[in-house]
Structure 1
Amino acid sequence: MKVLDSPVLESVRPFISDNTEQLYQSLNEHQAFYMFDNMILTKLRKQISNLPLLLQAFHQSPVFLIPDVVLEESVRNIPTKERYNDYYFELFKQLSAKKQLYIISMETIYQLLEKGMTKKQYIFDVMKQLALEAFRVNRDIINNLERCELSSFSDLPKLRQIILHNGNNAGERFICFFALLLVHQYYGPAYICSDDGKGVYTMYNTFVNNESLFRILGVDDFLMLKEQYILLSYDCILQLSIKNTGLSSKEIYAFVQSSGRNESRKVLYSLDGQSFHTEIKNANFAKWIEEGKIEIFF
């Protein structure tokens, strides 16, 4: 059963599309897209009163993508339709009023690739090659991928199961994998919305000197890749929200204080051109953004 058919999702189903043809048209029109994990969706839900302001951060594209694995995780966490309705209805309702929400799966990605690649085996080869490069530090996944034969649409569940692995950080793995496949098809920039250091940032770091990955994606180097594959932590989203609005000093501070950001999270940033990886208290966070001194990387 597709996750969107789950009875738990009954109330939010009208707000999320699984129409591949519509998604194809949207991607061709807008090119850029945002991909979300559960952590960021939860933060947005908790900030429903600030949502109009937070949405100012997402000005590059109306296309919001949620991997089916991420939605499955949310259903496991909130397994009754009554609770799911209470928890997520207002978020998805408001998001769908401003943005185009799509659920994407391995099958969706295959169908999108099929529109741009002439031979089916090329599609399977690219999927396997990108998976091998994306997950190169996970030997269990790599060993299973190397043994996996991909030659037909019916093989996709095998690939999905291999990437799921033991379930830990599975949503983040699919976000990264799907984003790379879409970048391969010349869509992008891909904005990866996540606070997950282990599942997203660690993987991103493995891309830095990966010549094989650059060759598959058709980019010269990491500098070109990072223009098309962009990480957006919650702190990045807050900074962009403030930059894209005309808030006063008092309003910026009030927004940051009410934003639910984790002051104990270590942030990767530069301040006056010097790099840091430290915690940032809300008062400094608001002050440095207002003064234009800080650039947040993750």
Structure 2
Amino acid sequence: MKNILHLIILVLITTTEGVKSQEINPLDFFPHHLGDLWQYITYTQTGGEFWERKITAIDTVWSDSSIIITERIRNSYDIKNKIYLNDSLIVYWESWGGGIWEPRYKFNVLINTFWLSDPFFPFYTKYINESEELVFEDTLLYREYWTAPDTFFILALYTECLALGIGFYYGEFEVGITVLNGCIINGIQYGIILNIEDQNGDGLPSEYILDNFPNPFNGQTTIHYYLPSTDHLTISIYDVLGNEIEKLYSGEEKEGHHYKIWNPKTNSSGPYFVVMRTNETQITHKILFLK
């Protein structure tokens, strides 16, 4: 009997330790190591723009037990964030008016909670939901935030998705979307890092691109592709058995970024494949539909 009790206690201790090891540090949604680098592509109807965000300084403020994290944006201006060491579940940022620190992200609130995030405009931010997303071939937990000029949130000025261990990886704004192309977090590279020599150049890639946003999705998704030169192509959706479900486009397409919407409608949940065929190449991209 004593051996059985010892075994039960051992199992309980092991289970408890396992749960503790799997606990999530909410601040991992906002990685902040000196030198961390993120490269994004912002897509609009006029094309794509590559830009960088990099942590260039982390300063300790002993008077209020906080750290100030300086992010260099597009190699042209800085955004400063503050985290209090005794309350690391809120990331503050300096308002555009300067001198005032307001909550940028809150990791300790319930879904649909909102707060004043910048009194200068003013802007309000709302925590929308927590779910999972495919990021760089890994399924990661992410949190979605909306920012709007009022507390009704009928129309968000922009949305931000923060992936665990990665940070800001996807956003939507009035005229386009921003997607993380690659990053270096604490010395580890994820995705593709490009050598951006001229931030004011056209920033156009030299290779074909095929992806979609969001992924996974439960309504409709945007298929995005880039052609380095004018070409004839077809964009089709296939199921796991190789059956063509829908042809989204067939014809000549000019050089540049292009977008097609796919709404599965009556299709069942599961993986599908987007196939882009041109005279030069064929690219396949996996997508996941969740009803």
Which of the five TM-score ranges fits, normalised by the shorter chain?
Answer: under 0.3
Higher relative contact order (CA 8 A, sep 6+): 1
More helix by share: 1
Q: Highest Rg: 1 or 2? A: 2
Instruction: Give TM-score scaled by structure 2 length.
Output: 0.26
